[in-house]
C-alpha cells in the first residue's frame, strides 16, 4: 500500500476546505454513528472472538462512549468553532483581539488493543469534529475488531477523508516515516517514546495517552464496604486490562484486614466468569505468561488460579507486597491486585512518588484535610475521590496523562481542542494611530509609553 499517496490525497481533500464546513462535519459524524449502530452485531461478534467480551460490556465500555462522544460533538461543534474574543491592551486601542480555532489538517490516530473500538474511534471523532481528515491505524492484536473497523469505515467513507489502515509494527513504522499534521497515540510508554521520536523528525505535534501504575489510596475513615465494592468493579473490569484501572492499593494499616475481607467478598459476589458475561480473556499468550510471572504464590491472599487453554486468570489479590517485588516494577494490566499497608498518609505519598507519575489516582477518604493534601502533593493525569475509573465517563473532564503517563488530553471539548490550532488575531482600526512607536524616540514618548504600558 502506498501510504504517501493516501496521505497526499487526504491533504489535497483537506485543502479544498470541505472539512471546515460545519454541516460536513456533522453529516460525517452522524454517518459514523449510523454505520456503527447498523452493524452492532458485527462489532459484538468481532470483539467476542478477540476477548470473549459480552455484548453488555462491549456496549457499556465501548459503543455507548462512542455514541455519547458523537452526540456531544454534533450538538456542540457550532459553539466550539466560534471565534473567542479576548481583551485588548491599551497600546493597541482602538482594536479587537480574538482567537480562531482551525483544524490541524491530516491526522494519524494509532489505537490501543484493550478497548479497541473506543480507543480508536473516540479520538477519530474528535478529529472529525475539529475539521481534520483522519487515517486510523487500529491495534493489530485484536485482529477481528481491527478487521471490523476497517470493513465498516473503508466501505462507508471517502478514503480521502477517513481511512483505516491495518497492520502490525512494520506498517505502523512505515506510516510514521511520513509527515502528519498531528499524531494521536494510545498505548504503552515504551511505544509512545518511539512514536514521539518519529514525530519529532517532522516537528509533528503529538498527543500520547499512555499508562502507568495508578494507585488507590484508602484512609481509615472510609466506608470500607462501599470502597471495596467500587474498587473490585474497577479493577476487574475487562479482566484488569484497563489503562486507568487501580493498579495497586495503599490502605491504612488499621483497616488493612477489613478491606481485604471486603474485597474478597465482592470478588466472590461478582462471580467473574466468561459465561456470566462479566469477564474476559487475557488478550494473548504473551500477556498471559507475563501476568503469571507477576504472581508470587507465597503472597496470594485470594485467587491465583489460571487456565492456560482459555487464557483466563482469576481475580487475584496479593498481600505483604513490597516495592521491590516484580508486580510493583511495571504496570500490571491484568486481574492482579497488590495491597500494601501504610502507617501515615506521608508514607503513602512517598510510595506513589517513588514510581512514575500515574495516569490515574483514586483517593478514598472522608477527611477533607487528607484529601486536599493528596490532591495537592501527588501528580497524576486524572482521577476520582471515593470512586475509581468512572471519571473517564465525564465528558466535561479532559482525559490525559502527565509525565510518563502521557501528554495532552481529549474527550468532549478537550478532544476538539486537541485537534485544533488556535490562531491569535489582532484587528486594528484605521481611524487612529498613536505616534509613540515610531521614530524619533524621545524622552517625552518614553514617559507616555511607561504610563500606557506600565
Catalytically active residues are: 209, 243
What is the torsional sign of CA 348, 350, 356, 357? positive
Residue 293 to residue 290: CA distance in whole angstroms: 5
Count the neighbouring beta carbons within 10 Å of the beta carbon of residue 452: 13
Give the torsion sign (CA, 425, 429, 432, 435).
Answer: positive
Q: How far is CA 127 from CA 20, 74, 105, 256, in A?
A: 12, 13, 9, 45
Which strands form 420-428's sheet, in the order they lie side by side?
84-86, 95-103, 420-428
Q: Residue 356: in which H helix or E strand, if any?
A: none
Distance of CA 145 to the CA centre of its chain: 19
135: which 3 cell numbers? 487515517
Beta strands in 325-429 (DSSP E): 336-342, 360-364, 382-385, 406-407, 420-428
Contact status, residue 233 vs residue 61, Cβ threshold 8 Å: no
Residue 209 makes CB contacts below 8 A (sequence gap 6+) with 112, 119, 184, 185, 186, 187, 243, 399, 400, 401, 406, 408, 410
CB 317 within 8 A of CB 334: no
Distance (Å, whole) CA 11 – CA 274: 45
The 10 Å CB-count burial string (b at 16+, else e) for 130-157 is: bbbbbbbbbbbbbbbbbbbbbebbbebb
Say whether the peptide bond before residue 440 is cis (omega within 30 degrees of 0). yes
Residue bearing cell 496521505: 7
Is residue 327 within 8 A of residue 338, CB to CB? The reply is: yes
Cα 214 to Cα 439: distance, rounded to the nearest angstrom:
60
Q: Which H or E run includes 3?
A: helix 3-15
* Cis-peptide into 40, omega within 30 deg: no
Amino acid at each position: 500500500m502506498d501510504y504517501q499517496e493516501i496521505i497526499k490525497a487526504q491533504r489535497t481533500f483537506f485543502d479544498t476546505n470541505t472539512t471546515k464546513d460545519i454541516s460536513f462535519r456533522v453529516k460525517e459524524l452522524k454517518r459514523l454513528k449510523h454505520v456503527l449502530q447498523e452493524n452492532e452485531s458485527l462489532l459484538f461478534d468481532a470483539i467476542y472472538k478477540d476477548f470473549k467480551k459480552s455484548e453488555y460490556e462491549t456496549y457499556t465500555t465501548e459503543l455507548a462512549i462512542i455514541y455519547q462522544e458523537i452526540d456531544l460533538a454534533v450538538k456542540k461543534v457550532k459553539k466550539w468553532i466560534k471565534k473567542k474574543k479576548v481583551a485588548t491592551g491599551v497600546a493597541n486601542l482602538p482594536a479587537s483581539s480574538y482567537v480562531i480555532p482551525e483544524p490541524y489538517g491530516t491526522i494519524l490516530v494509532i489505537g490501543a488493543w484493550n478497548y479497541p473500538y473506543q480507543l480508536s474511534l473516540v479520538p477519530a471523532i474528535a478529529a472529525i469534529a475539529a475539521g481534520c481528515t483522519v487515517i486510523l491505524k487500529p491495534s493489530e492484536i485484536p485482529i477481528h475488531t481491527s478487521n471490523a473497523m476497517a470493513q465498516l469505515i473503508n466501505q462507508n467513507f471517502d478514503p480521502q477523508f477517513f481511512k483505516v489502515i491495518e497492520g502490525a509494527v512494520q506498517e505502523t513504522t512505515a506510516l510514521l516515516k511520513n509527515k502528519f499534521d498531528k499524531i494521536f497515540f494510545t498505548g504503552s510508554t515504551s511505544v509512545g517514546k518511539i512514536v514521539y521520536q518519529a514525530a519529532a523528525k517532522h516537528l509533528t505535534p503529538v498527543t500520547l495517552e499512555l499508562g502507568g501504575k495508578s494507585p488507590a489510596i484508602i484512609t481509615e475513615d472510609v466506608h470500607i464496604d462501599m470502597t471495596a465494592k467500587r474498587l473490585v468493579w474497577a479493577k476487574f473490569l475487562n479482566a484488569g486490562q484497563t489503562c486507568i484501572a487501580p493498579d495497586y492499593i495503599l490502605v491504612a494499616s488499621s483497616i488493612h484486614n477489613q478491606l481485604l475481607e471486603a474485597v474478597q467478598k465482592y470478588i466472590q459476589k461478582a462471580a467473574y466468569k466468561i459465561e456470566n458475561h462479566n469477564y474476559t480473556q487475557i488478550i494473548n499468550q504473551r500477556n498471559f505468561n507475563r501476568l503469571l510471572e507477576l504472581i508470587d504464590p507465597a503472597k496470594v491472599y485470594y485467587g491465583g488460579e489460571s487456565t492456560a487453554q482459555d487464557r483466563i486468570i482469576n481475580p487475584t489479590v496479593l498481600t505483604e507486597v513490597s516495592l521491590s517485588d516484580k508486580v510493583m516494577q511495571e504496570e500490571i494490566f491484568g486481574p492482579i491486585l497488590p495491597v500494601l499497608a501504610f502507617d501515615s498518609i506521608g508514607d503513602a505519598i512517598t510510595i506513589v512518588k517513588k514510581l512514575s507519575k500515574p495516569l490515574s489516582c483514586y483517593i478514598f477518604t472522608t477527611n477533607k484535610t487528607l484529601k486536599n493534601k493528596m490532591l495537592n502533593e501527588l501528580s497524576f493525569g486524572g482521577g476520582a475521590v471515593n470512586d475509581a475509573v468512572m471519571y473517564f465517563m465525564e465528558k466535561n473532564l479532559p482525559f490525559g496523562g502527565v509525565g510518563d503517563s502521557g501528554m495532552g488530553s481529549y474527550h468532549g471539548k478537550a478532544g476538539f481542542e486537541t485537534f485544533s490550532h488556535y490562531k491569535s488575531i489582532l484587528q486594528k482600526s484605521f481611524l487612529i494611530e498613536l505616534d509613540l512607536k515610531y521614530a524619533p524616540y524621545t524622552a517625552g514618548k518614553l514617559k507616555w509609553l511607561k504610563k500606557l504600558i506600565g
